[in-house]
Structure 1
């Protein structure tokens, strides 16, 4: 019987899980020494997430709604895509503050301290923190790791490693860059992309790629070069940048995310889209699926509950090796510019309405439409 739960990490997944469990009668303690904090990401919250995640109702007052997207190929051709409904763009720090304000601190014990040890003692866990303002030893009968890909939870809880593949990302604030579209720029021989996501009074501009290809100097070079070419009046603020490592997972087994009296959610559980690096929806969804298992007093069902999102993420992993090849991103942008149907596929992928699991069937079924639209575009141009 679960009574006393520790959540390690105050990102979207950890805060959402705490919110879902408050009022359940369980004792909840949330550990994080940084919150609220920023993270290198565009901050896009998809239409799918807005529809499915209860905690996000009302976030529109704090976010920037964007319906225009521009995709730029490695060879500088571009395609503008208009979405029928907006994506909400919000900084991770603002999202964290929003979530914190929704917690009931009579039911949630928030410990602003860094966890240094998680020690199993029979069926319980002892957690040690580094802040002397707190009793340094806490005991729990269930531990949830929500502290990201590089957090201590995976190691101390004994989760089976995923492997060594990682993304690295570096993001900058560009103050005063206020545009009405989000931009994605692909590069030759790079498994990643540059993003420009407007957030009201500033834009988040950054670059991410496979860790083995990544360096801070390369990321800054891409960001600076892009701004000089497209927005010459703006420069990244060298004092306002943020970096992170993002998991890149090909396959999940139960031992990767769950064991006796513990579970991992969000980035800690590897729940990140392999192609886009997007993890907010999956952070929320994994927290929701774990909360259902805990409330039912059947935490062992967590992995089974995750089969739907795992299937989708594993499908993205099978597409990944081809997706970032220069010829593919170039063809995708060029053909989408000439085909309304392909633009709608991009729209639905952006909004979360098109799944990877059904993408191949969708494209195959509509090959004649794409061919017709591409051919007609040449005649119209002529």
Structure 2
């Protein structure tokens, strides 16, 4: 495949800004097109330890962020669990994060072409494949809701969010509302071409989003890095294979099990309810949850790990129920 001397990157989000920076740094002439460039958007802005470890500049840059060390999960029933994270999550304002990435691209030599125009809380919802998030940023809260657009439009999602905010002691007075479609794809859609002669898609444009959590920033940055690597090798046709080898199977696994996660049952109870119960009762299960939030536990190995650990999880749960029968979900929380 021919590699043009001048490369156009359409979209200045995390993926676009990242690939523009890497290609410009390698000596390519890069034009970065975006209507808004650095702007706020409806996204929690969380970066897992996996992302921070892969790209240390995200930790080292002089950018405003909040480091999170605890997580609180709330089931549709209103019961929940709070637990400490082994690896911190960094919460950025999306405007700050995009500004950081765009500045890197500019410093590397990319040319901009603008258009003319400490505890995170997650609540799962009944009959909705999604959740409400409350992420504390450096000087404000990012509060939002995500769910499938099947039988529920944007206005309906906002009503659910409005009705739920009093539970968190928050109100929308003076807040600005944003809406954005998350490209969470089916397994079949993830198999469509992401590149061709003279073009390639990365990040949201390619649908690289975790169908369970809605996380897309890591996959935006990683797909941008993989495309830049392929172009730097003068072999952009390798990009699709790089993605397939690196993270696409993980997104396919997430897409396959998302329906069961939000709508299925596990050991006689809704999956989310059972998951939270075991997080309270079992140290081994809490370790699994911490690894999921750190981004180090892959979905492809999740079922095998649960099955392998099930005897220990069961024993820990029984011991906990015998010695601490009053230990339960909120208002008594696990703080280990």
Q: What TM-score do you get using the length of structure 1 for normalisation?
A: 0.79
User: Structure 1 residue 302 and structure 2 residue 245: aligned?
Assistant: no
Cα deviation, residue 41, structure 1: 1.3
Alignment of 1:83-232 (within 5 A): 83-104=85-106, 107-113=109-115, 180-231=118-169
Match of 1:126 in 2: none
Q: Does 1:249 align with 2:170?
A: no
Q: CA shift at 1:43, angstroms?
A: 0.8
What is the aligned partner in structure 1 of residue 171 from structure 2? 235
What's the counterpart of residue 153 of structure 1? none
1:7-46 matches, within 5 Å, as 7-46=9-48
Report the Cα distance in structure 1 between the residues aligned to 2:127 and 2:6, rounded to whole angstroms.
Answer: 49
CA positional deviation for 1:81:
1.6
Q: 1:370 to 1:253 in 2, by over 3 A?
A: closer
Structure 2 residues without counterparts, runs of 5 or longer: 265-269, 326-336
- Secondary structure of the corresponding residue to residue 36 of structure 1: coil
TM-score in terms of structure 2 length? 0.89
Counterpart-to-counterpart distance in 1, 2:10 and 2:57: 19
Residues matched between the structures, number? 316
Give the distance between the partners of 1:85 and 1:204, measured in 2 at CA: 21
**In the aligned structure 1, how far is the partner of 2:190 from the partner of 2:146?**
26
CA contact (8 A) 2:190 2:252 kept: no
> Which structure has more helix as a fraction of its residues?
2
Tell me the distance in 2 between the aligned counterparts of 1:245 and 1:293.
Answer: 29
Q: CA deviation at 1:296?
A: 0.3
The reply to whether residue 340 of structure 1 matches residue 283 of structure 2 is yes
SS in structure 2 of the partner of residue 304 of structure 1:
helix
Deviation at 1:357, TM superposition (A): 1.0
Kindly indicate whether the alpha-carbon contact (under 8 Å) linking 2:208 and 2:219 is maintained by their aligned counterparts in 1: yes
Alignment partner, residue 281 of structure 1 = 218
Matches of 1:15 and 1:189 in 2, distance apart? 37
Cα-to-partner distance string for 1:72-97 (whole Å, 9 max, x where unaligned): 00101111121122100011111011
Structure-2 residue corresponding to 1:162: none
Counterparts in 2 of 1:300 and 1:369: CA distance versus 1, 3 Å? same
Deviates more, 1:208-217 or 1:245-254: 245-254
Residues 98 and 321 of structure 1: is their aligned pair in 2 closer, same or farther, counting only changes over 3 Å? same
Deviations 1:127-183 (A, max 9, x none): xxx68xxxxxxxxxxxxxxxxxxxxxxxxxxxxxxxxxxxxxxxxxxxxxxxx3100
SS of equivalent residue, structure 1 residue 366: helix
Q: Deviations over 1:84-124 (max 9, x none)?
A: 221000111110111222233572110011xxxxxxxxxxx
**Secondary structure of 1:334's partner?**
helix
Q: Which runs of 5+ in 1 are unaligned?
A: 114-129, 132-179
